Amino acid sequence: MEILVCIKQVPGTSKIEVDPITGVLKRDGVDSKMNPYDLYAIETALRIKEQKGGTIKVISMGPPQAKEIIKEAFMMGADEGALVSDRKFAGADVLATAYTISQGVLKMGKFDLILCGKQTTDGDTAQVGPEMAEYLGIPHIANVLKIIELKEKSVVVEMDMPNTLEIAEIQFPCLLTVEKDIFQPRLPSYRKKVSTKDREIKIISLKDFEDQDEKRYGLTGSPTQVERIFPPSVNNDRETWTGTGAQLSFKMSEKLKQLKFV
Amino acid sequence: MSKLICHQENVNESNIQELMDVCPFDAIENNNGIIEINAGCKMCKICVKKGPKGVMEFIEEKVVEVDKDLWKGIGVYVDHVEGEIHPVTMELIGKAKELAAVVNFPVYCVFIGHNITEKAKELLYYGVDEVFVYDYEELNDFRIEPYTAAFEDFVNKIKPSSLLVGATTIGRSLAPRVSARFRTGLTADCTVLEMKENTDLVQIRPAFGGNIMAQIICPNTRPQMSTVRYKVMNAPEKQCEPSGKITICELDRTKLTSKIDVLKITKKEVEENISDAEVIIAVGRALKSEKDMAMIQELADLLDAQIAGTRPLVESGWINAKKQIGLSGRTVKPKLIITLGISGAVQFAAGMNSSERIFAINKDPNASIFNVAHYGIVGDIYEIVPQLIEDIKNSNAQICAR
């Protein structure tokens, strides 16, 4: 079984503020970490490997510092890792990111299964996985809650639908995005940290891709444009009401109506 | 290709640190006095606008735009399981009508499934111009390849300018697949949508866990796609008479094959989780006896709310431990929270103070809950709540009678 896990480095905290006047992102501390949802994808891969054998490769896209999370994946038990990184990928939106990673995937050898976390904590879109599957021409199932059975040429999973749970069988090669809590992720091991400290992390850049058309990557390859970022409006008005019970309840029901809760 | 260039000759010792500091992504590096930009660059252009003057420059290459006149109408994906239409669909129709009015576009629905032609008539009561129905046995269950194929066929035939898809587990799986097929933009979980005169859709969405908002446009490709969560937009009122028409679409059945088999569908047992609740009624020590929970339940039912509480109520066994708000319980961030007889100790307030609207009822005008409440109501819950229940019931009755 050849398993590929897609992981991303995200800011260590989501407590990011925008300066309301300049529109500049304010970041206190530049800590970064592995996207927490990706830990579930790695754990799922490890469990499958324990049953079926094979190799687990992790792939990430980002600046050279993102090698850190690939090392972390090694500490959990991943066998190989590669980082898709190139200055020309800068400014990529979801579509360009998905295309870039799928080009990177093609350089990682044959695969049966691609696993992704359900979303990232910085972008929160949950779109990269399904878009990659489209570019790779393979089927996908999103929001997988359980791996029910691993067969020779397929996997049976439970998926989360709006009002139902569905059990479905999907043939390899395919892509799954897994929900939080599919398995409890293990902690990184110190022993593995020592034994993998010199393991090579391959860097894949545009010149390695099959499709080297620069127009498809980075800002130019991105159909969406961020016009501006701004802080969410917060409701800081405070008022205090006093009166009789009847007056207060009437005032309250009128307010709830006005706010569309009734 | 658009690019960021550095005028190296304008870089000097006095401004190099300033330049590096201005980048929120640490993408500007100093390599022995030579400025290099690494792959962390998000092209936010802050270094051009806010960095030292004349150092960074952004050179934009004009991208070929699509002919926007060829793309007309706003399409809504009908979210359903086995023909049961998800209410987010009506909300999107409501929004689509508002957007369409700005540029005089028709509103379309695309309904993909099996044995749904009859159900499609329901949509005609919400003011759509045309419902396109793909009704095939292969489309009975949501499977990604045949659903994408039907959606693709709709886009190719109708050429809608914008597409709105509900951000349900189905929509969040299907919409990205379609956007990649057309190499077009998709913005997830939009909270605000506005139409420009030139048919560009302005999309606003939260990022970084809601700590920043981003305004996004998709100016050079069509269709422009957005997903929107349930209960964000407003559904239009149901009309007495249907309007618009239903068109049955033919599709080459060889496109409907799938590598997925749905084996079994079970109803989801809904486990209430206060962390996901949109409306919460929180009760505290002012509640005198367990039987008074019935009054709280009645109010909660009227507001479609979940009941939560403080630690003393959990310890007395009146509410489940999973319903405790606070540092030793859950953190909640609902759209509305009403606290009843809660003093608002720090350990409680920390678990709820980022809620969007906070109503607090408490007898003590000095209770610290009034420091976090948007609407502080000084009074006795036993006087206010029963009357409030009556007032809400009355207002509901009025709406039905209209």
Tens-level pLDDT at each residue, chain A (262 residues): 999 999 999 888 766 666 666 555 665 555 789 999 999 999 999 999 999 999 999 999 998 989 999 999 999 999 999 999 998 998 899 999 999 999 999 999 999 999 999 999 888 899 999 999 999 999 999 999 999 999 999 999 999 887 889 999 999 999 999 998 899 999 999 999 999 999 999 999 999 999 999 999 998 899 998 888 888 776 667 889 999 989 999 999 999 988 878 8
CB contact under 8 A, B169 and A248: no
CA distance linking residue A38 with residue B40, whole number of Å:
20
Q: Is pLDDT above 50 for B400?
A: no
CB contact under 8 A, B215 and A241: no
B156-207 confidence digits (pLDDT tens): 999 999 999 999 999 999 999 999 999 999 999 999 999 999 999 999 998 8
Counting one residue from chain A and one from chain B, the pairs whose CB atoms sit within 8 A come to: 310
User: Which residues are paired to A55 by β-bridges?
Assistant: A2
- On chain A, the residues whose CB falls within 8 A of the CB of B85 are none
Complete DSSP assignment for A77-102: T--EEEEE--GGGTT--HHHHHHHHH
Q: A52 CA to chain B: closest CA distance, Å? A: 21
Q: B46 CA to chain A: closest CA distance, Å? A: 7
- On chain A, the residues whose CB falls within 8 A of the CB of B42 are 90-91
Quick one: tokens of A48?
Answer: 């499958």
CB contact under 8 A, B180 and A134: yes
Stated pTM of the model:
0.82
| A19 Cβ under 8 Å from any chain B Cβ | no
Give the pLDDT score at B42: 75
pLDDT exceeding 90 applies to what percent of chain B?
Answer: 63
Q: Residue A57 is inside which H or E element, if any?
A: strand A55-61
Rounded to an integer, the average pLDDT of B355-373 is: 93
Q: What is the ipTM of this complex?
A: 0.89
* Residue of chain A minimizing CA distance to B88: A162
- On chain B, the residues whose CB falls within 8 A of the CB of A86 are 39
Of A161, A223, A228, the CB nearest to B170: A161
B374-387 confidence digits (pLDDT tens): 999 999 999 999 99
- On chain A, the residues whose CB falls within 8 A of the CB of B86 are 162-163
Dihedral, CA of residue B24, residue B26, residue B29 and residue B30, to nearest 10: 70
Of B38, B81, B208, the CB nearest to A14: B208
CB contact under 8 A, A162 and B81: yes
Question: Pairing mode, if any, of strands B28-31 and B34-37?
Answer: antiparallel
* Residue of chain A minimizing CA distance to B36: A87
Give the pLDDT score at A18: 67
Give the best residue of A97, A166, A170, A258 to mutate against chain B (max B CB count within 10 A).
Answer: A166
- The 10 Å CB-count burial string (b at 16+, else e) for B317-337 is ebbeeebbbbeebbebbbebb
CA distance linking residue A234 with residue A20, whole number of Å:
12
CA distance linking residue B381 with residue B283, whole number of Å:
10
* Residue of chain A minimizing CA distance to B228: A125
- On chain B, the residues whose CB falls within 8 A of the CB of A245 are 379-380, 383-384, 387
B54-87 confidence digits (pLDDT tens): 888 888 776 667 889 999 999 999 999 889 999 8
Q: Residue B282 is inside which H or E element, if any?
A: strand B279-283
Give me chain B's average pLDDT, please: 90
CB contact under 8 A, A259 and B179: no
- Highest mean pLDDT (candidates B41-55, B156-170, B353-367): B156-170
B268-301 confidence digits (pLDDT tens): 776 678 888 889 999 999 999 999 999 999 999 9
| A16 Cβ under 8 Å from any chain B Cβ | yes
Q: B59 CA to chain A: closest CA distance, Å? A: 12
CA distance linking residue A204 with residue A106, whole number of Å:
11
| A69 Cβ under 8 Å from any chain B Cβ | no
Give the pLDDT score at B402: 40
- On chain B, the residues whose CB falls within 8 A of the CB of A99 are 180
CA distance linking residue B187 with residue A113, whole number of Å:
27
CB contact under 8 A, A30 and B26: yes
Residue B401: band (very low, low, confident or very high) from pLDDT cuts 50, 70, 90: very low
Q: Residue B34 is inside which H or E element, if any?
A: strand B34-37
| A148 Cβ under 8 Å from any chain B Cβ | no
Q: Residue A245 is inside which H or E element, if any?
A: helix A245-258
